[in-house]
A and B are shown apart, each in its own frame.
Chain A
Amino acid sequence: DVKVTQSSRYLVKRTGEKVFLECVQDMDHENMFWYRQDPGLGLRLIYFSYDVKMKEKGDIPEGYSVSREKKERFSLILESASTNQTSMYLCASSLPGEGGRPQHFGDGTRLSIL
């Protein structure tokens, strides 16, 4: 089975801090994704990556950046955390190509910005 591991289940940070959320997958997937989940809004895509050192903006990239130096690891960075970035963050990975490969999700990081 594919395993997507997010480094922290719960995280509390202060306004203005630089925050790193880490995600690792063990199935050699090319595609990796970062979402945030908010009640009533569903999942919204922040950034995604098709390959090492490649990244594309999703629907809500403002205030975030990403890093993918190795195929298995995709990091989400909050450059200067703000209270409106308090949310559940979900990482996912998938194989590329035809046929609509499903995304596999980690268990999420619940981030609180105080």
Chain B
Amino acid sequence: AQSVAQPEDQVNVAEGNPLTVKCTYSVSGNPYLFWYVQYPNRGLQFLLKYITGDNLVKGSYGFEAEFNKSQTSFHLKKPSALVSDSALYFCAVRRNFGNEKLTFGTGTRLTIIP
């Protein structure tokens, strides 16, 4: 079985401050990890993924995420938040073998305060 936990339903950050959106996971074997963003009335857009290698991965719109195997975490980060980063963020996990079924977290609503 595989699962994802996003412990915060809502995160508020002042514009220009660093932001972190938390994600922990559980999966058999080594994980493939993903972050997606959803803007109002739209589908999900892919931000970044961890497959293997460097624990810090960089993605779209200046976002990055740090893979921590010992803590089974994959937190999303950005050094300086923009108002346009306000959206719903989803973390997802799958095994690195077998079927390609993704399991998503429940989502974190990020609000950047001007």
The interface centre, meaning the residue of B6, B96, B105, B106 with most chain A CB atoms within 10 A of its CB, is: B106
What is the number of residues of chain A that contact chain B, defined by CB distance less than 8 Å? Answer: 28
* Nearest residue, chain A, Cβ from B97: A98
Chain B, 51-65, CB within 8 A of any chain A CB:
51
- Give A24 Cβ to nearest chain B Cβ, in Å: 14
> Which of B11-19, B41-49, B68-76 forms part of the interface with chain A?
B41-49
Please state if B43 and A42 are interface contacts (CB–CB under 8 Å).
no
Please state if A42 and B104 are interface contacts (CB–CB under 8 Å).
yes
> Which of A12-20, A60-68, A71-79, A99-107 forms part of the interface with chain B?
A99-107
With contacts A42-B106, A45-B102 taken as known, whether A106 is within 8 angstroms of B43 at the C-beta atoms is yes
- Give A31 Cβ to nearest chain B Cβ, in Å: 6
From B32, B45, B90, B105, contact of A100 by CB (8 A)? B32
Please state if B90 and A42 are interface contacts (CB–CB under 8 Å).
yes
* Apart from the given pairs A31-B100, A45-B101, 17 other A-B contacts in the complex at a CB distance below 8 Å: A4-B43, A42-B90, A42-B104, A44-B104, A45-B103, A48-B100, A48-B101, A90-B43, A92-B43, A92-B44, A94-B100, A100-B32, A100-B34, A102-B34, A103-B102, A105-B36, A105-B45
